[in-house]
Amino acid sequence: MYSLLKELFPICRSITGDGVRESLGIIGRRIPLRVTEVPSGTRCFDWTVPDEWNISSASITDSKGRKTVDFADNNLHVVNYSEPFSGTLEREELMPHLHSIPSQPDVIPYVTTYYKRRWGFCLRHKDLLKLKKGKYKVEIKSSLKPGSLTFADAVIPGRTKKEIVISSYLCHPSLANDSISGVVVATHLYKYLKARKDNYYSYRFIFVPETIGAIAYLKMHKEHFLKNVYAGLVLTCLGDSGPFNYKKTRQGDHSLDRICANVLKHSGHPYSLREFWLPGSDERQYSSPGFNIPVGSLMRSVYGEFKEYHTSDDDLNFVKEKHLEETLQMYKSVIDAVESDFHYINLNPFCELHLSKYGLGSNPFKQEDPNRYFRKILTLLNFSDGKHSLCEIADKLDVPVLELAEFAKTLEQKKLMRRS
């Protein structure tokens, strides 16, 4: 995953423009993507797709001809969506266009201006302090004109039309954990699900610019979402060393919330469960009251809460392959659990099974304490009355839902239970 991250990292993305297209091209060489262009000016609910933004270079040159700030060094140096500009300014005239973080003098901040025409530069506060009185030549070679917004998706059909959405966003330029780590894990999760046999749910992978991209996507697929989408996950901030954080769905008690809590609890990793909050990422759109789709977000450190967030320190050193792998593994477990969380019906509901008749008199699975084994299999059979999901029964037992899923599979194969 780290190699994909490295490939995507340097590109200057925004909510529109060639950076997004190039990034989708890179992902599209790994998994089959359907790319869609939405023309500037397209009305999407309360929003309108803005003009397309592209940039080739931007710099501030001092009176001695030295490039004080150069987009070529780091694409965070230019305020994202800056309008083109060329001119010479006194330091005092330049100042209102410069952004830095006094309390973090060594980092370049990430600033955008999608819906307000202006231009600006971002720089380390320590460099800003070095700017002497005098004239500065400013050159921003960007374009802001009608074009389109680009997004992509990929669907893996399952046995049912009920869909789970896996959504990540790729509008951020050179930021590794926020945005790109989600895209990278999503790409690999796609491969896992594609290879996984006999998926019950269909899976819809969505790669969009955040907010306006998700809004445009929902506008184009409104009826589909209202009819078929069962739940979703937003992937972001997945590659740092922080503990796991699961942000619950708007509903707060959806089976997805229960599953993520079960998987995290039994994972051995430190984690927290958090109630749904706003703002956030694209769950804001999926879970708006008109759509009301249960969408959770399983993260490592939470956006806005780590000091590298939206600065040049959210770079390739901040994200580690090891953490991406752990996170991918957690997502695979969540998916496996979602795919096992059925409401089963015990086909011999009157009195208990004579387990030994079915080779179930002692644990057929693996070396395990017999008391624990009987507790699990009898509890599973007892509560498989069509009213309790597998995960609810696992939670009664305080065992991993995936451990109980093995039992359920065996009982299903022996025609002792069926899915309701």
Shortest Cβ 221–its own copies spacing (Å) = 12
* Closest by CA position to 234, among listed 165, 331, 306, 334: 165
Maximum Cα interatomic distance, the chain, rounded to a whole number of Å: 92
Q: How distant is the alpha carbon of residue 342 from its chain centre? A: 25
Q: Which is nearer to its own copies, 44 or 330 (CB)?
A: 44
Shortest Cβ 196–its own copies spacing (Å) = 31
Q: Which is nearer to its own copies, 321 or 385 (CB)?
A: 385
Q: How distant is the alpha carbon of residue 3 from its chain centre? A: 18
Q: Which is nearer to its own copies, 350 or 367 (CB)?
A: 350
Distances, alpha carbon 103 to alpha carbons 107, 125, 221, 240, 340, in Å: 10, 8, 44, 22, 48
Chain positions contacting its own copies, by CB under 8 A:
44-48, 115-116, 211, 214-215, 218-219, 222, 250, 275, 277-279, 284-285, 287-292, 304, 346, 348-354, 356-357, 371, 374-375, 378-379, 382-385, 396
Shortest Cβ 279–its own copies spacing (Å) = 5
Beta bridge partners of 86: 139
Q: Which is nearer to its own copies, 68 or 311 (CB)?
A: 311
Q: Which is nearer to its own copies, 74 or 82 (CB)?
A: 82
CA distance 368 to 403: 12
Q: Which is nearer to its own copies, 44 or 156 (CB)?
A: 44
Shortest Cβ 353–its own copies spacing (Å) = 5
Shortest Cβ 266–its own copies spacing (Å) = 19
Beta bridge partners of 418: 345
* Closest by CA position to 4, among listed 127, 256, 269, 187: 187
Shortest Cβ 238–its own copies spacing (Å) = 23
Residues 6+ apart with CB under 8 A from 317: none
